[in-house]
Amino acid sequence: MKIVETFATTRGLAAGIVGLVPTMGYLHEGHLSLVTRARRRVDTVVVSLFVNPLQFGPGEDLERYPRDIERDAALAADAGADVLFAPGVDEMYPEPPVTRVTVDPLGEGLCGRTRPGHFTGVATVVAKLFAGIGPDAAWFGRKDAQQLAIVRRLAADLSFPVTVHGGPIVRAADGLALSSRNLYLSGEERRAALALSRGLMEAADAVAGGETDGPRLEAMVRAVAGEESRVDLEYAELTDAASVTRLHRVDRPSFLAVAARVGRTRLIDNVHFDPRPGGGYEPDRGVRLVGRGMLQGGA
């Protein structure tokens, strides 16, 4: 695997069908599951690693975001990446960008309410990666469900010839959705954070049993999160998976999304609901790690 810092070198190494997995680094099995998926489908797998200042707000964790390129390089190579594109800020933004990509109204709800400008930062850097690398396909995690909807829409609206794929949420064995930010959690906070996935799994059970009422599903998540004093819930919302608008009933592809602060750490999680062929809705609970590096459920 080659480690490169410029768009031009990345393009030079991109042979055949090219797949891109954009990340902010500090890779875990969630990222690596996307690399594995890309590896099965394309000739050249490019993993990008860039902690994008444009998507962090004032007072957020840009400076303390974990960084370890040697560790990331070893993990990406192991998972089958061909190129690790790790640009500096000067390569990504030779000048502060005055051209920005805004995907309103998909970026206004959910996390957009407390992170103004965040999704414009995400959409702008993704558009730059698509334009600068020219991948045929790109893989994003359903962990960031709002982001995935935004990326799909930006690719369609701006006519990027990129097929956008979503991958299931990878969870630790106890249910916690993997995130580079989990590193910030103390032992007590990590235990408390499990209330989020527990609440979502309860709601998933209810949907599997035929429940479709949005407010009742949201209330289940709120009740479980409310049992943990360390969990400060920001939202629990049933959301249309394409338009990212509030839904009152599970009657189309949708997700139940949560965001919460646990101590100083902001966490998000969700469960997707897709129509079943025979009627009803299938919850996608993600996949759980069963041991170090072993994925269960076909990630």
- Contacting positions for ligand AMP (CB under 6 A): 23-24, 30-31, 33-34, 140-141, 143-144, 167, 169-170, 177-180
- Shortest reach from residue 78's CB to ligand AMP, in Å: 16
Nearer to ligand AMP, 132 or 168 (CB): 168
String of DSSP letters for 224-270: HHHT-TTEEEEEEEEEETTT--B-SB--SSEEEEEEEEETTEEEEEE
With respect to ligand AMP, which residue has the nearer C-beta, 137 or 170? 170
Q: How far is the CB of 143 from ligand AMP (least distance, A)?
A: 4
Cα–Cα distance, 36 to 158 (Å, whole number): 27
**Cis link prior to 105 (omega < 30° from 0)?**
yes
Instruction: Report the residue number, 10 or 36, with the smaller CB distance to ligand AMP.
Output: 36
Q: In whole angstroms, what is the distance from residue 210 CA to residue 181 CA?
A: 34
CB of 118 to ligand AMP, least distance (A): 12
Closest CB to ligand AMP among residues 35, 221:
35
Distance separating alpha carbons of residues 118 and 108, to the nearest angstrom: 10
Q: Is 31 a catalytic residue?
A: yes
Residue tagged active-site, from 28, 31, 118, 248: 31
Give the nearest distance from C-beta 295 to ligand AMP in angstroms: 10
Tell me if 258 sits within 8 A of 231, measured CB to CB.
no
- The pair of structure tokens assigned to 127 is 């558009």
Residues in the chain: 299
Nearest to ligand AMP by Cβ — which residue? 141
On whether the CB atoms of residues 214 and 239 are closer than 8 A, the answer is no
**Enzyme catalytic residues:** 31
